[in-house]
Amino acid sequence: MPRTRRTTAAATAVAVLSVLATACTGQSGSAVSDDPGKEVTLNFWHGWSAPSEIKAIEENIARFEKAHPNIKVKVTGNMTDDKINQALRAGGDKAPDVVSSFTTDSVGKFCNTGAFTDLNPFLSKAGMDKAKIFPKTLLDYTQFNGNQCTLPLLNDAYGLVYNKDAFKAAGITEPPKTWSQFVEVAQKLTKPNGDSYDQLGIMPTYHGYETTPARLAAQWSPKYFAADGKSNLAKDPGFASMLTAQKDLVAKLGGYEKLEKFRNTVGDEWSAEHPFHKGQVAMQIDGEWRASMAKEAGVTFEIGTAPLPVPDDQAGDYGKGYLSGTIMGIAAGSRKQNASWELVKYMTTDTGAVVAFANAIHNVPSTLAALESPDLQVTPEFKTFLDIARNAKSSTTPAQADGGTYQLTFQDFAYAVEKGDVADIPAGLAKTDQQIDTDIAKAK
């Protein structure tokens, strides 16, 4: 379902969260003393805004309040990290007690600054083994340096959504599994028309909606940081290989300028006018929500889904992908920590609650039990993304003290590469490493 672009959210969070360290006074989960059995009202802020998403949140909260009649929840939606930050700095009764954010990239900063409470003591007191509740990759992006300051609340897996009718017309019998197959299929599906296209196999530029450097890099199984914590982009050959492969695909589909000109004529990512919905693009790198959105938009073609292709020398890893998701935490300044934990625990670990929410907004469940629940509504298109989420080799971008700044630095370099502004990719990656290391050192 529609949601804020995480790259945009990360940029906002990076800009505003740098002052959180002086604004927050953290509390240990084992030190708080409020009685969760007494009458209390919690302020819960989240980022969802679509009517169907708001309805799903309200239904989830209603189930929680029924199970916890003494706890009332005041819900405020469509809240950005900027607004959340301002409220946390101001404090007071109107500040959020519980927060849900789309910005997984900022977990490192949330934890490092003490903006959110470490949930490990709460988990321990409840006798909950988080490793048996959540997939490892989701735990990786919700904690930093052992501080579990957030927990996963639903999950996004990224794969390939494609037009089966266009495939059939081009004589393509199955989705591509390796990068060389992907390039061949994208070219077969592309129908140029002068300086534009009647149909484009795929929009390969990094501005093309969810076709971001991080999504593609995941297929090369990259290691962003070395054991000593230093940025590892230049030393891991996967980054240079991915950047080179993507640049080559851009060239083969018409070149950067022609592709960007076409991209600027197509519809918005979250509207019915999306170019995949309109048949203007035959393949789309996207999340689990795209197939359902396309159906709601009234597409007339059959939709297929598959994992993203992998490098030819990693063909045995086909099935993996990039994972991200929504996070949920407790504001460190809240005086209602125990009651807040009851809400966080319910929404993130209760199988019924997680499954119902996932069904309502068409996202991947975030607990191991919910992934296997018989109540989970699974279409053939959706199953692909469940399999990607379960794949042990699926990965995410690791949390860092600078939040998502290091990703934006890498992304800016990738933009320069695809435009043809970088003559020496390895040297450029080494320089990017230096900038990332400098930024992280400052954040620490």
Contact assessment for residue 59 and residue 360, using Cβ atoms and an 8 Å cutoff: yes
pLDDT tens, residue by residue, 324-341: 999 999 999 999 999 999
Tokens of 358: 């996932």
Which residue type sits at 386? L
pLDDT tens, residue by residue, 187-200: 999 999 999 999 99
pLDDT tens, residue by residue, 236-290: 999 999 999 999 999 999 999 999 999 999 999 989 999 999 999 999 999 999 9
Kindly provide the residue ranges of all beta strands, DSSP E only, lying in 194-334, ordered along the sequence: 196-202, 281-287, 303-306, 323-330
pLDDT tens, residue by residue, 363-389: 999 999 999 999 999 999 999 999 999
Kindly write down the DSSP assignment for every residue of 362-408, as one continuous string: T-B-SSHHHHT-TTS---HHHHHHHHHHH-TT-B-PPP-TTTTHHHH
| Residue with tokens 């953290």, as numbered in its chain | 26
Pick the more confident residue, 25 or 199. Answer: 199
Strand partners, 327: 101, 152
Give CA–CA dist 101/83, Å, rounded: 11
Proportion of the chain above pLDDT 70, given as a percent: 93
Give CA–CA dist 401/100, Å, rounded: 19
What are the chain's domains? 6-156+324-390 (3.40.190.10), 158-317 (3.40.190.10)
pLDDT computed for residue 31 by the predictor: 52
Give CA–CA dist 261/253, Å, rounded: 13
Contact assessment for residue 235 and residue 301, using Cβ atoms and an 8 Å cutoff: no
pLDDT tens, residue by residue, 422-440: 999 999 999 999 999 999 9
pTM of the prediction? 0.87
Average pLDDT over residues 13-40: 58
